[in-house]
Amino acid sequence: MSTGYKILDQNALFYLTFQIVDWVDIFTRKIYKDIVIESFSYCMEHKGLNLYAYVIMSNHIHLIASAREGFALSDIIRDFKKYTAKQFLEEINKPTESRNDWMLKRFEFAAKRHKRNSEFQIWTHENHAVELVSNKFIDQKLNYIHENPVRAGIVYKAEDYMYSSASNYILGEGIINLKILE
């Protein structure tokens, strides 16, 4: 069995990517991004998550994270994805979501392709976990995360994108408090 992209050291520092199945652009609406932010906050306070950097793009999230001593990063990710998927489905089923029929069909189709799913699958099973083992590699991934909205043409300056930790690093504040990498 391959060990590529697996979390072997549960307390190491990792660069992670969480992707929505079929690249569905769920995060084009504020409510879904806010669910992610609230869940990050909860996981940091109650689940042992150390969050160092993140960006929420239209259909995926990049982050740099680790687990505090006594916690397992794999468990935190599992709980995060399970909770956010449930919250997303609640929002999708509201009459205010004009894309609900299309999105539910995509998520239902994705669930049928994997026997470990129930009725809907929102997140892919892969987390693309890459252990960060050098300062150079950490800097590279941190810059990649923060420049993502700039490369996508969403903002001119990384710190102007609300759903990113770039403002935490550049301005000293952001919409979520996180640990700053030195």
Interatomic CA distance for residues 24 and 123, integer angstroms: 10
Distances (CA, A) of 154 to 37, 62, 112, 161, 181: 19, 16, 34, 8, 25
Low-confidence winner among 108-112, 129-133, 159-163 (lowest mean pLDDT): 108-112
Which of these, 145, 159, 147, lies nearest to 61 by C-alpha position? Answer: 145
Predicted pLDDT of residue 164 = 98
Predicted pLDDT of residue 4 = 57
Residues in the chain: 182
Q: How confident is the model at residue 114 (pLDDT cuts 50, 70, 90)?
A: confident
Sign of CA dihedral 38, 39, 40, 45: positive
Q: Which two tokens stand for residue 178?
A: 């996180």
What is the enclosing helix (H) or strand (E) of 79?
A: helix 73-92
Average pLDDT, the chain: 94
Question: What's the number of CA atoms in the CB half-sphere (13 Å) around residue 178?
Answer: 29
Average pLDDT of 79-108? 96
Average pLDDT of 113-124? 82
Q: Which two tokens stand for residue 53?
A: 């950097």
Q: How confident is the model at residue 116 (pLDDT cuts 50, 70, 90)?
A: low
